[in-house]
Amino acid sequence: MSAAEATSAIDIDRSVGDFSYPESHEFDAGIGLTDKTIDYISGVKKEAEWIREFRHRALKIFRDKPMPTHWASEDLKEIDFDKIRYYLAHGQQPTRSWEDVPDDMKETFERLGIPEQERKFLAGVEAQFDSEAAYSNVKESLEKEGVIFVNSTEGLREHPEIFKKWFGKVIPTSDNKFSALNSAVFSGGSFIYVPPGVKVSHPLQAYFRINAENFGQFERTLIICDEGSEVMYMEGCTAPKFETSTLHSAVVELVAMKDAKIQYITVQNWSANVFNLVTKRGLAHENAEIRWIDCNIGSRLTMKYPGVVMKGRKARGEVVSIALANDGQHQDTGAKMIHAADETTSNVVSKSISVGKGRSTYRGQVHIPKHLKGCKNNTECDALLINTKSKTDTYPAITVRGNQHATQHEASVSQVSEDQIFYMKQRGLSEAEAMSLSVNGFVNDLVREFPMEYSVELKRLIDLEMEGSVG
């Protein structure tokens, strides 16, 4: 039997993130989604009337829109929106002091290494537990420069003049069924504003944690970089493995004004019961740059296609993504690049690994209209199959009109080489170690794009995924 044929499902040790504490919520919207649910969430948050009205309009749109199963996974039919809890909170306001975080939350984040990371290399941290942030802090030096880094609830309440201008403008409520759902019940997420000319030298980080069964987490993140400013934002995601399904449906909007740069890095390590259905899009003005660096490990189903609308001349958009689909998982990921001005440039590099009966799908869209001049796109989609039962699909939709543009597309599908595995085993590696080394080699050029701390974490997660993958 070949190495590829011997590969089966992977029994993953998720001990790092697979723990939970007894639920203790002061606020609980109950099970199911109705107009009363919306009023409850809005009331608890003491929101302005325009936000309540925004939520109710979104709920109607959500109800009217069909599930996107005409092109996506049939697994979506298993989501029962009437059995989900849409808002759970301890009633806490996010504290600026780590010592004031409730004990169970503090222990959760300490086990995951959040305060240690903050001390070492971060400019600010937000830690969200279920529906609300428990901790939010930004370095004093950045505050003095006018940088705002708070949760979305605080952003709406304390900075409405900035927040309202862009909220729901990059991703309209009606964009898709799950953006409408998020707009109806959103809670938590980050709000960041970087003033003109300010370059945030160290990353800002948010960490999203689910601790409850039958729960839906719906954070809403808005990042605005004013003219000539720069920021790097990183998010991590985990949840324990429950017997019931969990829903994570976020909306992320990025706005990069003239000459601004935003880099958004995600390393998700969801448990295998999570439906991860996320809408992410950036708007890049003249000579601005938006980069999505995306690593998807875990979840039962991920549907995520970060996009960039290049609105201004010489704007640049990039998506660099890694997806690993284990047994019983479907990573449906990709990118959307919309060129809307002359001399805009987009780059998409996607690598996927399918293990056991796992399935990975690249789903992309590149659009360059006829009236534009001097646009460029590069799209690369590479897939690695670990055995004969794993699957991969590639759907690159590249629409280029006119003859004044440069585009290129490359795609490959390969299997782990038996000769390569044999060679490494002769030098003392186990088959699982050899397989892990092969996978890490496959993604190595992309891993270099991650900050050092996240590169190490990504390699560790891949090693965990490959444990027990053979024999």
DSSP secondary structure string for all residues of 346-378: EEEEEEEEE-TT-EEEEEEEEEE-TT--S-EEE
pLDDT (0 to 100) of residue 471:
38
Predicted confidence (pLDDT) per residue in 56-104, tens digit: 999 999 999 998 877 767 888 889 999 999 998 876 565 555 555 556 5
Higher pLDDT, 142 or 162: 162
91: buried, middle or exposed (CB in 10 Å: 19+, 13-18, 0-12)?
exposed
- Looking up tokens 């306001």, which residue turns up? 93
- Looking up tokens 């990118």, which residue turns up? 335
Q: For the chain, give the percent of residues with pLDDT over 70.
A: 77
pLDDT (0 to 100) of residue 147:
93
Alpha-carbon gap, residue 387 to 361, rounded angstroms: 16
CA-based nearest residue to 372, from 346, 411, 336: 346
- Torsion on CA atoms 91, 88, 156, 38, rounded to nearest 10: -120
Cβ neighbours of residue 321 under 8 Å, at least 6 residues apart? 292, 293, 294, 295, 296, 306, 333, 334, 335, 349, 350, 351
Phi/psi for 214 (5° steps) reads 55, 35
Alpha-carbon gap, residue 102 to 342, rounded angstroms: 52
CA-based nearest residue to 294, from 234, 376, 214, 216: 234
The yes-or-no verdict on residue 177 having pLDDT over 50 is yes
Section 110-124 average pLDDT? 54
The yes-or-no verdict on residue 309 having pLDDT over 70 is yes
* pLDDT confidence bin for 416, thresholds 50/70/90: confident
Q: Which two tokens stand for residue 75?
A: 């697994």
User: Considering the chain, what is the average pLDDT of its residues?
Assistant: 82
Alpha-carbon gap, residue 101 to 187, rounded angstroms: 19
Predicted confidence (pLDDT) per residue in 192-204, tens digit: 999 999 999 888 8
Higher pLDDT, 275 or 16: 275
| DSSP percent split of the chain into helix, strand, coil, nearest 5 | 25, 35, 35
pLDDT (0 to 100) of residue 134:
54
pLDDT (0 to 100) of residue 372:
95
Global pTM? 0.85
The yes-or-no verdict on residue 363 having pLDDT over 80 is yes
Q: Which two tokens stand for residue 94?
A: 């996010």
Cβ neighbours of residue 309 under 8 Å, at least 6 residues apart? 170, 281, 282, 283, 284, 317, 338, 340
pLDDT (0 to 100) of residue 14:
41
Greatest C-alpha distance within the chain? 69
The yes-or-no verdict on residue 213 having pLDDT over 80 is no
Higher pLDDT, 211 or 391: 391
